Amino acid sequence: MLDTNIRPSTPRRLLFLYEILALILLFIYQKDNLDQYIIGIGIGLILLVHISNYLLLKISKGDNYIFLIATMLMSIGLIMIYRIDSQAGVRQLMWLALGIFFFYISYFLVRYLKGLNRLIYIYIGLAYFLFILTFLLGKRTYGAINWIRVFGVSFQPAEITKLILIFILASFYYQYENFKEMKYSSYILMAIAYSFIGLLFLQRDLGMAVIFYAIFLAIQFIYEEDRKLILLNIGLAVLGAIIAYQAFSHVRIRVATWIDPWQYIDDKGYQITQSLFAIAEGGFFGKGLGLGHPHFIPLAYNDFIFSAICEELGVFTGMGIIMLFLLLVYRGFKIALGQSNLFYRILALGISTLFGVQSFIILGGVLKVIPLTGITLPFVAYGGTSILSSFIALGILQAASEDFEWRMSDD
Amino acid sequence: MTSENRRIILVLSAFCILFVGLVGYLSYFQVFKAEAVKNNSYNKRLWINEENVLRGSIMDRNGNVLAYSEKDGETNKRYYKYGNLYSHIIGYSYREYGKAGLELEYNNVLLDISESAALNELKNLVLPSSVGNNLKLTIDHSTQEKARSLLNGRKGSIVLMNPKTGEIYAMVSLPDFNVANLNENWKEITENPDSPLLNRATQGLYTPGSIFKMVTTLGVLESFSLDLEYNCVGSTVIDGYKLTDYNERAHGKLNLHDAFVKSCNPYFAEKAVVMGKDKFGEVAERFMINKKIHFDLPVKTSQFPYKGNVEETEIAASGIGQGRVVVTPLNMAMMASAIANEGEMVKPILVKEIIDKDGRILKVMDTEVISTVTGPSVANTIKDMMVDTVKAGTGTNARIRNVTVAGKTGTAENPSGKSHSWFVGFAPAEAPRLAIAVVLEEAGVTGGQGAAPIARDLFIHGLNNIDFEEEY
Amino acid sequence: MFNILSLLFKYIFIIIIYMFIFSIIRLIYLDIKGMNNTALGGAYLKLVNRKDSIPFKINEYYSIGEGLTLGRRGDNDIVIKDPYVSKDHFQIVKDEDEYFLEDLNSANGTYLNGERIQDVVPLKDGDRIRVGNIDFLFVNKGM
């Protein structure tokens, strides 16, 4: 069946059809109190998705699929956000436009800037600078100090730091032969990674700490020649988790509400139980767009967008989203396997791991498979910095999917 | 393949497993868990669905309405006519406190929500507001009232049922609570140490004491090699532990019949040990001990732990219904019913009919034999012992003029307080119409003194007032 | 009205999503399959352009074997229905384990690493061959 003829443009057409149908439905949904945005949203989304896809076709000779997958995810997300709160939907569309702009910028920067692999000390310095900035200007929301406001815009520095971490790791293992002459260099790298994780912990940003750890572990697992370091890394993480559980009450609360949220349904378990209600209520096919009650879910368009989607568009759509993320991760690893330049290969691996871990943590969280931590579902959930960061990462991945060896010989 | 590529593929495989696991869990959740999650009272969507449907009424076997709903402006309001009387049967349906009892178990019927989600959606489109189905119970309202008044405020439970059809005529559990004004007394109800929310008839696990000798007796009768004679000296020592009779009275030389009528403890303790734990356990399980009982309300499973490494003293104690044996009153009423019904135990039923808003009967609950405990001849042998128990044994307080009552008393020693007072039995013995289990929790009196008179009075009321439908 | 539409659409949405996923999986599968057929051994041409940016049928990989021809006419090994491509455009021949590229007097010419070739030229691994708007990479790891 897989052999039957298929045109490369088929997925793009399906995406177009999906958007058109959803927008028609939203239009009818709101026809009684139509706001002026719906037309704008509709045209905006379709133009944004299709112009950017078309443009990429002309510019990039790399991977054909990752951007397409991301635009599908973001279309589902935007439709859902707009249905829950039209104001948020309009803002999300602007963030998406900005995100795609940043996608191209990061794509071009990574593609044309030379010597990105030699800036490890600058990366490390930048990462610490961002952490210090967070502590100096940080705002506390939902118990975590991870936001700062710059020029009136809320901004989560760790969203950028996680990309810097990938660059640090890529630069380090790119120049592994040089660093190996330096004594204990791998240990120093590990100390730096752990200092990031520790700082995130102090900011109470547990989800982000797990993401940092997973990226570090994955790259270390693939490239570190001192294999006992990997065991040490895993051992330390287990130890750290136990200490954190003993020492911090907010960690214990997370675990307790994970094991039995029904017991704390009135307060601490409220969010997760509302999420489970929504998913259960949706069934396999969902209630239908506009026919569910996603506003019962707290943070329905941020952390719990997946639950809202499951309620109205069905668990089958939810599974589709999970599969899209799996495809994205698969493409990322495939890009890495095909990339002959080590630096860009590690970048591709780091970013694929980032997408995989981040989506797994929040999907598993809202499903109560793992303890819930407040991070966003890449491309789908509402959120400024998170959207920008995801698209920047995607731009890097897109650039890393191209053949660098003969570009260099070309110039 | 290079080790680098191998490791990359390893990490990729890990992600594949994680994501496929998520998809698997999501399906599992949807298929097996979603129904229970959806019906949690904290799910606000439930109430939105209910706003559109007028909840059905609940009535007794004679058509007396016990609970009903009415439109009160925009919202539907639920009325419970008899505040305390049906708190454990009908239960309640409150936005704030959720649902309990039949209101919970028959929620979909009362709201006329069909099993298929797609069908519901279509129905909601066609008929945005509708009326749910009504329930007709097996309960006889006047008998239910009588049963509650007989308990007279004491902690305990009564289950009165038809041994042939399984219909429950009365089921009382005290303390109870007023479902009509939960808003005012919810805090008090939940904080009361006597747990009024607990339906003792189905959820209370009590040590049965001597009424469990009915089980032991059946075991003895089936063990042909057993010597039925025994010389009682008032106590016996098994494996170093002493078991005594009530007041350590010596019964002298007696056979099974006399031991049963006089409720001789050393006899049944010894016989249980000789019979062996496996035989004893197998007989008990025919009485649905250790077995799940399917009922219109959730039932706790009665327990008799006999498997594995159980000491002899434990089996001896079980022989007289002490030790680790615990049972529900409903199960004990079923036990009496089985003997009354020539050895066949029928499924207890509480909801007789489901009737739609236009009066059409949608479903009639049928009588169903769930366990064949023994044959008619052995059942009649035990019945005779029970008749003699009431005639001249420990159960004389249950005697009724002109009606032969069969019964067994029990005084269950309770490690955490005063003893429970039990009576199980049925009447009339020749053609049983009523079977009963009465338990007075921590009453501190014998079954003959405490529970037997209650059974007698309820038998009299029931036989005179219940419309038995089928002619005997 | 809206309710009925929404109930209907939710099934359509799910169908579209799965068709989308399926079509992507199928395209990826075809890519990999094409790769395996040629990567088994020997020299091959790899399409540099993104496949979906080219408006006519083309494969991502072409195995060269003992040589091949490219042109617009149907009996060539690589047939490209592009007006820029001549009926018989170029050919690659193998001689003593070496590959040579020869332009067959095409109208628009054949470019090797950016330069239009005049005569028969030897190919080495990593060379880029351009015909019209199409770029091929010559891969020969066996050398």
Looking at the structure of chain A, the number of domains it has is 1
How far is C120 from chain A, CA to nearest CA, in Å? Answer: 22
Residue A92 maps to a domain: no
How far is B77 from chain C, CA to nearest CA, in Å? Answer: 28
Residue A408 has what pLDDT? 45
Give the range with max mean pLDDT: A319-328, B40-49, B190-199, C102-111: A319-328
Count of C-beta atoms within a 10 Å radius of residue A121: 10
A222 vs B contacts (CB less than 8 Å): 4, 7-8, 11
Q: Which residues of chain B have pLDDT under 70?
A: 1, 49, 114-129, 226, 246-247, 470-472
Residue range A21-80, pLDDT digits in tens:
888 888 887 776 666 677 888 888 899 888 998 888 878 777 878 999 999 999 999 999
Look up the domain containing A138 and give its range: 115-410
- Give the residue from B116, B119, B121 with the most C CB atoms within 10 Å of its CB, the best one to mutate: B121
Which chains, if any, share at least 3 CB pairs under 8 A with chain C? A, B
User: Which residue on chain A is closest to B15 by alpha carbon?
Assistant: A356
Record: contact C4-B121, CB cut-off 8 A: no
Q: Which burial class, exposed, middle or buried, applies to B86 when counting CB atoms under 10 A from its CB (0-12, 13-18, 19+)?
A: buried
Residue B1 has what pLDDT? 60
Is the CB of A291 inside 8 Å of chain C's CB atoms? yes
How far is C136 from chain B, CA to nearest CA, in Å? Answer: 27
Is the CB of C49 inside 8 Å of chain A's CB atoms? yes
Q: Which residues 66-85 of chain A have a CB within 8 Å of chain C?
A: 68-69, 72, 76
Is the CB of A289 inside 8 Å of chain C's CB atoms? yes
Cα radius of gyration (chain C)? 20
Which chains, if any, share at least 3 CB pairs under 8 A with chain B? A, C
pLDDT tier, A410 (very low <50, low <70, confident <90, very high otherwise):
very low
Is the CB of C3 inside 8 Å of chain B's CB atoms? yes
pLDDT tier, A361 (very low <50, low <70, confident <90, very high otherwise):
very high
- For B362, half-sphere exposure in the C-beta direction (CA atoms, 13 angstrom radius) is 15
Class of domain B44-137: alpha beta
pLDDT tier, A233 (very low <50, low <70, confident <90, very high otherwise):
very high
Residue A5 has what pLDDT? 57
Record: contact A324-C1, CB cut-off 8 A: no
* A181-195, A226-240, A354-368, C3-17: range with lowest mean pLDDT: C3-17
* Residue A171 reports pLDDT greater than 50: yes
Record: contact B8-A277, CB cut-off 8 A: no
* Residue A137 reports pLDDT greater than 50: yes
pLDDT tier, A111 (very low <50, low <70, confident <90, very high otherwise):
confident
Task: Round to whole Å and give the CA distance between B428 and B169.
Answer: 16
How far is B24 from chain C, CA to nearest CA, in Å? Answer: 17
pTM of the model as a whole: 0.68
Is the CB of C15 inside 8 Å of chain A's CB atoms? no
SS3 annotation, chain A: CCCCCCCCCHHHHHHHHHHHHHHHHHHHHCHHHCCCHHHHHHHHHHHHHHHHHHHHHHHCCCCCCHHHHHHHHHHHHHHHHHHHCHHHHHHHHHHHHHHHHHHHHHHHHHHHCCCHHHCHHHHHHHHHHHHHHHHHHCEEECCEEEEEEECCEEECHHHHHHHHHHHHHHHHHHCHHHHHHCCCHHHHHHHHHHHHHHHHHHCCCHHHHHHHHHHHHHHHHHHCCCCHHHHHHHHHHHHHHHHHHHHCHHHHHHHHHHHCHHHHCCCCCHHHHHHHHHHHHHCCCCCCCCCCCHHHCCCCCCCCHHHHHHHHHCHHHHHHHHHHHHHHHHHHHHHHHHCCCHHHHHHHHHHHHHHHHHHHHHHHHHCCCCCCCCCCCCCCCCCHHHHHHHHHHHHHHHHHCCCHHHHHHHC
* A110-114, A341-345, B235-239: range with lowest mean pLDDT: B235-239
Residue B233 has what pLDDT? 80
Task: Round to whole Å and give the CA distance between B14 and B12.
Answer: 5
Which chains, if any, share at least 3 CB pairs under 8 A with chain A? B, C
- Give the residue from A69, A173, A221, A222 with the most B CB atoms within 10 Å of its CB, the best one to mutate: A222
Task: Round to whole Å and give the CA distance between B83 and B167.
Answer: 23
C7 vs B contacts (CB less than 8 Å): 121, 125
* A103-107, A199-203, C64-68: range with lowest mean pLDDT: C64-68
Residue A75 maps to a domain: no
pLDDT: which is higher, C64 or B59: B59
Query: Which CATH architecture best describes the domain B144-351+367-465?
Result: 3-Layer(aba) Sandwich (3.40)
Contact A52, A4 (CB under 8 A): no
Residue B471 has what pLDDT? 47
User: Which residue on chain B is closest to C6 by alpha carbon?
Assistant: B121
B35 vs A contacts (CB less than 8 Å): 280
User: Which residue on chain A is closest to B43 by alpha carbon?
Assistant: A277
Record: contact B37-A367, CB cut-off 8 A: no
How far is A105 from chain C, CA to nearest CA, in Å? Answer: 20
Record: contact C3-A312, CB cut-off 8 A: no
Chains A & B: contacts with CB separation below 8 Å: 100
- Give the residue from B13, B22, B40, B41 with the most A CB atoms within 10 Å of its CB, the best one to mutate: B22
User: Which residue on chain B is closest to A277 by alpha carbon?
Assistant: B38
How far is B53 from chain A, CA to nearest CA, in Å? Answer: 18
| pLDDT averaged over every residue in chain A | 87
Task: Round to whole Å and give the CA distance between B443 and B152.
Answer: 12
How far is B125 from chain C, CA to nearest CA, in Å? Answer: 7
How far is A297 from chain C, CA to nearest CA, in Å? Answer: 20
Task: Round to whole Å and give the CA distance between A114 and C17.
Answer: 39
Residue A63 maps to a domain: no
Residue B385 has what pLDDT? 93
User: Which residue on chain B is closest to C7 by alpha carbon?
Assistant: B121
C49 vs A contacts (CB less than 8 Å): 61
State the ipTM, two decimals.
0.92
User: Which residue on chain A is closest to C134 by alpha carbon?
Assistant: A61
* Spans of all domains in chain B: 44-137, 144-351+367-465
User: Which residue on chain A is closest to C50 by alpha carbon?
Assistant: A61
Is the CB of A28 inside 8 Å of chain C's CB atoms? yes
* Residue A1 reports pLDDT greater than 50: no
- Give the residue from C3, C5, C28 with the most B CB atoms within 10 Å of its CB, the best one to mutate: C3
Chains A & C: contacts with CB separation below 8 Å: 115
Pairing of strands A144-150, A139-141: antiparallel
How far is A405 from chain C, CA to nearest CA, in Å? Answer: 10
Record: contact B15-A293, CB cut-off 8 A: no
How far is C9 from chain B, CA to nearest CA, in Å? Answer: 14
- Give the residue from C4, C11, C17, C57 with the most A CB atoms within 10 Å of its CB, the best one to mutate: C17
Residue A40 maps to a domain: no
Q: What percent of chain A has pLDDT over 70?
A: 92
Q: Which residues 23-62 of chain C have a CB within 8 Å of chain B?
A: none
Q: What percent of chain A has pLDDT over 90?
A: 48
User: Which residue on chain A is closest to B18 by alpha carbon?
Assistant: A360
C58 vs A contacts (CB less than 8 Å): none
A285 vs C contacts (CB less than 8 Å): 10-11, 14
Contact B306, B276 (CB under 8 A): no
Contact A172, A191 (CB under 8 A): no
How far is C49 from chain A, CA to nearest CA, in Å? Answer: 6
Record: contact C4-B125, CB cut-off 8 A: yes
pLDDT tier, A150 (very low <50, low <70, confident <90, very high otherwise):
low
Report residue A284 CA to chain centroid gap. 25
Residue A286 maps to a domain: yes
**Please, what's the b/e burial string for C94-126 (b: 16 or more CB within 10 A of its CB; e: otherwise)?**
beeeebebbbeebebbbbbbeeebeeebebeee
Nearest to B382 by CA among B338, B427, B329, B348: B338
pLDDT tier, A405 (very low <50, low <70, confident <90, very high otherwise):
low
Record: contact A337-B8, CB cut-off 8 A: yes
How far is C7 from chain B, CA to nearest CA, in Å? Answer: 8
